[in-house]
Amino acid sequence: MGNLPRLGVDIGTTSTKIVELVPVAKDKWKLVTAAYSPSPAGGILGNPNNLGVFSQVLIKMKKEAGVKGTKVIAALPEEQVSSHVVELPLMSDSEVKQALQWQVEQYIPIPADRAVWSHQVIRKDPGSGGMEVMLVAAAKNLVNAYVSILEQAGLEVVALETELMATSRAMVPATYPLSLLIDIGSKSTNVGVVERGILVFARTIPTAGDAFTRAIETGLGLDRAQAEQYKNTYGMSDKQLEGKLAAAMKPVLTVIASEIRKTIDFYVTKHPGEAVKMVVLSGGAAGMPEM
C-alpha cells in the first residue's frame, strides 16, 4: 500500500485541484490535503506557454498546502477524451487488445497513430457468446502536455484516466445499484452509467455551467461577473428575484435533462431488464441552490 499513488490532480477549464490521501487500512484512505487555484486562461492546448504556467500553479499549490507526496494520478478532461463501448465475441483479455488494434480507428475521431488508447472489459455474457469493452482514447499531444506539466511540477505520473472514471470510483461504490453519474462542469456535462462500481457507459453533453451563466446574462441583462455571482448564490430557486433567475436558466436545464433522459433510455434499451436506481450529481454547477 505504501507504493500506491497518494496525489490526485484535476486540471479543469476554470480551476485546478490537488488532493493528497494517506492509507489508513485496507482499501481505506484519509484525505489530508486539498488545494484549489483558478486555472490559467487559454487552457492547456490553447497556448504552448501555458504548460510552464500550469506547472508553476501546481508548484505553488503544493508548497502552500504542504503536499508531501510525489506520485500522482491525474484526470483528463472528459470532453477531450473519446469513450466508446465496443461489442466483441467472447475472447481472452490478450485477444481483446489484439482485436482492438485492428478496429480502433472505427471508434475514435483521431488517427490511431496520433492517439493513446486503453481498454477495460466491462461485461462478459457466456450465454450469448459476446462481451462489451470500454475503449478510451485521447490525443497524444494532450497526454504529453499533461505529463509535461506534472513532471515539471516535480511529480511522478503513475496514470492518467478520465474524469468520469475517477469520480465513479470515488462516489459510486460497487454495492450501489445501477447508477447514473452526472458531472456538470463549466464547459460540458459528463454522464456515465455505473454498474457494480464500474463505468460501463459514458457520454459528453456540450451544455453546462457556462450556458447557465450566459442565459442569465441575456435574460437579466447582467454582466458576466454578476451573472456568475447570482447563479452561485441563488441557483434554480424560484423564490429569488421573483423567479426571473430560474426562468432564465430553465431552457438550459431542460436541454441537459432531456439529454440525460436519452442516455438512460439508450442504455436500458441495450440492456433490457435493467433500470437506473440512483443518480449522483457532481461538478461545480451541481452545487447551485435548488439544482
CA 234 to CA 214: how far, in whole Å?
A: 15
Residue type, 103: Q
Q: Would you give the distance in Å from CA 171 to the centre of its chain?
A: 12
* pTM for this predicted structure: 0.85
Cβ–Cβ < 8 Å for 178, 199 = no
Count of alpha carbons within 13 Å of 169, Cβ hemisphere only? 9
In the beta sheet, which residues pair with residue 179? 194, 278
In order of 27, 128, 153, 211, 247, the CA distances from 35 in angstroms are 23, 48, 15, 26, 35
Give the cell for residue 286: 451541481
CA 231 to CA 224: how far, in whole Å?
A: 10
DSSP reduced 3-state for 165:
helix
CA 175 to CA 152: how far, in whole Å?
A: 39
Residues whose CB falls within 8 Å of the CB of residue 59, separated by 6 or more in sequence, listed in order: 153, 154
Tens-digit pLDDT profile for the chain (291 aa)? 455 668 999 988 788 999 999 988 877 889 999 999 998 887 787 666 788 889 999 999 999 999 989 999 999 988 889 898 999 999 988 899 889 988 888 888 888 889 999 999 998 888 888 999 999 999 999 999 999 999 999 999 999 999 899 999 889 999 999 999 999 988 899 999 999 999 999 999 999 999 999 999 999 999 999 999 999 999 999 888 889 999 999 999 999 999 999 999 999 998 889 999 999 999 888 889 999
In order of 62, 94, 170, 266, 283, the CA distances from 208 in angstroms are 29, 39, 22, 21, 10
- Which sign does the torsion angle of CA 166, 77, 255, 232 carry? positive
Q: Which of 124, 106, 116 is nearest to 200 (CA)?
A: 124
